């Protein structure tokens, strides 16, 4: 899987899909609000369906907008019907530590065959329990963990070992990426997927020395008058 794009912007998704370098998309209410989505759940639904159709068969994670137990059930079932490649995001617990969430996750995965991405997690132990509950994806917010003064790489290694040992289906998503380096180092540590904003993908592709080298090649070709032959000439010479 490797890289998911963290956005709700259609033009960005199209851009990187054409490059063949993303394997899914993640969104949340904050992202969609920044993209100017209005109209409440209808606005979210319209954009979600458009993205899901665009990236099919790759997964699209869409977050519920409530932490009420029945509300989470209702929204998750509704969202899952919007497209076959949708994964519903649910947080590990409520804002005051409410513990209904994993029960909701377990029932949706095991009784309703709805894929769940448990998010807002800051430790390997949270992710492990979410995986035990049946989650298809467990999202560890690596950048936030590092901001607290810890190195999330140790959590990634620990979690990957536990998932492999107990043969749990969950895939590890590392989110809240803070710098380009995080992508490779977190994948190497054992994450299945890292979510990135569009600017980070550009940062992974573009290197100042590559730019310098490309310009040198072009300058040398111009000085030596090395130019691409027109297609018609190339065909005459049997080169095309």
Catalytic residues: 89
Distance CA(90)–CA(40), nearest Å, equals: 18
Q: What are phi and psi of 137, to 5 degrees?
A: -135, 145
191 and 170 Cβ atoms separated by less than 8 Å: no
Distance CA(85)–CA(173), nearest Å, equals: 17
Distance CA(109)–CA(77), nearest Å, equals: 11
Distance CA(80)–CA(61), nearest Å, equals: 10
- Residue 158 burial (C-beta neighbours within 10 Å; 0-12, 13-18, 19+): middle
């Amino acid at each position: 899987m490797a890289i998911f794009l963290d956005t709700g912007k259609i033009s960005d998704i199209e851009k990187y899909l054409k490059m063949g370098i993303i394997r899914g998309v993640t969104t949340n209410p904050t992202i969609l609000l920044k993209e100017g989505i209005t109209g409440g759940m209808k606005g979210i639904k319209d954009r979600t369906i458009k993205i899901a159709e665009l990236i099919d068969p790759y997964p699209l994670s869409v977050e519920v907008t409530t932490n009420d137990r029945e509300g989470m059930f209702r929204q998750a079932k509704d969202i899952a019907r919007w497209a076959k490649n949708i994964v519903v995001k649910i947080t590990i617990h409520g804002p005051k530590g409410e513990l209904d969430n994993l029960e909701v996750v377990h029932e949706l995965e095991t009784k309703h065959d709805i894929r769940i991405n448990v998010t807002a997690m800051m430790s390997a132990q949270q992710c492990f329990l979410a995986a035990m509950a049946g989650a298809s994806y467990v999202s560890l917010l690596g950048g936030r963990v590092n901001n607290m003064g810890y190195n999330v790489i140790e959590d990634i290694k620990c979690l990957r070992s536990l998932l492999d040992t107990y043969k749990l289906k969950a895939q590890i998503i590392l989110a809240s990426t803070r710098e380009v380096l995080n992508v490779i180092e977190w994948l190497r540590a054992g994450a299945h997927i890292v979510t990135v904003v569009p600017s980070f993908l550009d940062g992974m592709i573009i290197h100042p020395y590559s730019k310098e080298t490309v310009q040198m090649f072009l300058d040398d070709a111009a000085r030596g008058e090395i130019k691409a032959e027109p297609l018609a000439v190339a065909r005459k010479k049997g080169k095309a």
